[in-house]
Structure formats: C-alpha cells, structure tokens
Amino acid sequence: MWLFLAFLSVPLIEIALFIQIGGAIGLWSTLGIVVLTAVIGTFLVKTQGALAMNSLRQSFGTLSDPSEPLAHGAMILVSGALLLTPGFFTDAVGFALLIPAVRSAVFRYLKSRIKVQSFDMGGAQQQRPQQYARDPNVIDGEFEEVPRDPNAPPSGWTKH
C-alpha cells in the first residue's frame, strides 16, 4: 500500500513544485536548474560511488561484514537515479542520499528493521590440509588438462 502511495504522491509533489517554482522564477530558469542539478548530481554520484567501492573492497580485504558498504552503494545508485529524474523533490531526496551521515542514518534504521538469519564469510571456516598449513610456497588450486589440437598454431603462451 505504501508503494502505491509513493507512486501516486511523488508525481503530484513534482508537478506542484514545477508549477510553483516555474511561476516564481520563469520557465528557462526552472529548466536550467533541473539540468544543472542533473550535471552536479552525476559528478557527485561518481565521486561518492568511488568512495563506496573503495570501502567495499576494504571490507572484502579484511573479511569484515560488507553489508554497510553494500547498502551505501545501493543508496548512491538510487540517489543517481533520483538526480537524473527531472524534478525538485526527487533532486532533494537524491542530494540527501549523497550525504554520508544521511546514508548512515538510513542504514541504521533499516538495520534495526531487518533481522539477518545467518551470515557466512564464504569458506572462512574451511580447514587447510595439515601438511600445507605452514608452507607459504604452496598454492592450493585445481586444474584440468585440456588436450591440444596438433594442427593448431602455437598459442604464444608456451615455448613449443
């Protein structure tokens, strides 16, 4: 029901704001503001997105919980979509989502409303074979031999 209300109320708010602002400052100024916010928003989304990607890489590198950097990245993505949508209300929400403190507050709110059943770091609990546990020169891996076509030209990856 709340999604229906959002889809109904957001366009009405946008239309009302366009009429009010357009009447106050004129058509060309209103269109200029809409284009300018899209350009500025694109630049800000790009820089904030790069920071969020660095934070996500760092959380993967330290094997810490990536949920907050992922949520920040998703909010930046939504922010970009809102900033590219013509309108003053969507621009205000989009610019608000670009502020890290606002994103953190939204994340804390969502985190309090969502219950995670399980979380696994993807193999952090697997044990290595005992004979290789201390040897840093051993690389664990799997391979499959692929037969080479004798008529094929050399690949450049081998010396034969």
For 86-101, the pLDDT digits (tens) are 899 999 999 999 999 9
Whether 159 shows a pLDDT value over 70: the answer reads no
User: Average pLDDT of 115-142?
Assistant: 63
Q: Which residue has the higher pLDDT, 19 or 131?
A: 19
Name the residue among 72, 96, 65, 71 with its Cα closest to residue 83: 96
Length of the chain: 160
Residue 144 backbone class (left: φ over 0; alpha: ψ -120 to 50; beta: rest)? beta
d(CA 31, CA 86): 9
Query: Angle between the 27-61 and 88-97 helix axes, to the nearest 10 degrees?
Result: 20
Whether 160 shows a pLDDT value over 70: the answer reads no
Its pTM stands at 0.67
Question: Quick one: pLDDT band at residue 40, thresholds 50, 70, 90?
Answer: very high
- The most confident of the ranges 81-90, 112-121, 147-156 is 81-90
Domain ranges of the chain: 35-113
Q: Residue 26: its pLDDT value, please? A: 93
CB neighbour class for 19 (10 Å; exposed up to 12, middle 13-18, buried from 19): exposed
Query: Rounded to 5 degrees, what angle do the CA atoms 106, 112, 113 make?
Result: 90
Amino acid occupying residue 23: G
Largest Cα–Cα separation, the chain: 78
User: Average pLDDT of 109-126?
Assistant: 71
Whether 59 shows a pLDDT value over 60: the answer reads yes
Q: Residue 149: its pLDDT value, please? A: 80
Q: Which residue has the higher pLDDT, 152 or 48?
A: 48
